Amino acid sequence: MTINNEYQIDVSVNPQYLPGQSDPDSDRYVFAYTVTIVNNGKLAASLVSRHWIITNADGEQEEVRGPGVVGEFPRLQPGESFEYTSGSIIQTPVGTMGGSYQMKGDDGTQFDATIAPFSLRSIAVN
């Protein structure tokens, strides 16, 4: 999201199915995802909190909100990036995740950085 061209936080996500931790017979599908957050804006900004919406193939949604990410509150100068890995468990072989990070600029401006929806897939789909 860009606010007056001063703030531009770009988020990319790389999900991975973890078959060794999953149990399809018990409707348990475990995924890891690595997130890269890049400050492509002109001013420094800090990640304050997160909001995820996790949706399984049955349309059931779970919302996750909390402070920071993996116990950290990264402050990114222009051009800097932050990467972390976390995980999610859903009850169906496919689903989606998306949401936003709540950010705060050094000047006090508060804004959301969008996390575009991405697929969680335990199976190959043509």
DSSP 6: T
Q: Which CATH number do you get for residue 75?
A: 2.60.40.1470
pLDDT tens profile 22-64: 999 999 999 999 999 999 999 999 999 999 999 999 999 999 9
On whether residue 70 sits in a domain, the answer given is yes
Distance CA 109, CA 43 (A): 10
On whether residue 20 sits in a domain, the answer given is no
Range of the domain at 39: 2-13+34-86+93-116
The two three-digit tokens of residue 118, written as one number: 């991405």
| Whole-number pLDDT of residue 5 | 66
* Extended strands (E) in the chain: 2-3, 7-17, 29-39, 45-56, 61-67, 75-76, 81-90, 94-105, 110-121
Total domains, the chain: 1
pLDDT at residue 93 is higher than 50: yes
On whether residue 126 sits in a domain, the answer given is no
On whether residue 76 sits in a domain, the answer given is yes
On whether residue 27 sits in a domain, the answer given is no
Neighbour count for residue 70 (Cβ, 10 Å): 10
Distance CA 59, CA 84 (A): 27
The two three-digit tokens of residue 50, written as one number: 């997160």
Q: Shortest CA distance to 11 belongs to which of 111, 85, 100?
A: 100
pLDDT at residue 80 is higher than 60: yes
| Whole-number pLDDT of residue 1 | 45
On whether residue 110 sits in a domain, the answer given is yes
